[in-house]
Amino acid sequence: MRPYIILGFIGFVAMLPAALTSTDWAVRRLDAVTWRRLHRLVYLAVLAAAAHFLWLVKAWPLEPILYFLASILLLAWRAYPVGALPRRSKRRVAANPS
């Protein structure tokens, strides 16, 4: 058995609900919470696809490693809460003209 095929199929199956519910009709029919929860399967599909590509080549060339690392970094960036970033003050202090 080739496990990279199973991993690729898991990624494909995780993308099916997102593909089927991306039409305007499906977005209107589903409530926002359910639609968002369903489309979070895309994160699983991205990881599965990147790992599938890395495992598929059976060697260590640079391209699959870069795709895998880029996927991990982008998903980690997406998971970082926006409110945790420090905010700059909107009020500016006038410079002392002396």
The mean pLDDT of 50-66, rounded to a whole number, is: 88
DSSP per-residue string spanning 9-56: HHHHHHHHHHHHT-SHHHHHHS-HHHHHHHHTHHHHHHHHHHHHHHHH
Residue 54 has pLDDT above 70, yes or no: yes
- Band of pLDDT at residue 94, cut at 50, 70 and 90: low
Q: What is the per-residue pLDDT across 16-36, written as a single tens digit (0 to 9) for each? A: 998 998 888 888 888 888 888
Residue 66: predicted pLDDT? 93
Nearest by Cα to 20 from 10, 29, 32: 29
Q: Do the Cβ atoms of 75 and 47 come closer than 8 Å?
A: yes
DSSP per-residue string spanning 49-91: HHHHHHHHT-S--HHHHHHHHHHHHHHHHHHS-GGGSPPPPSS
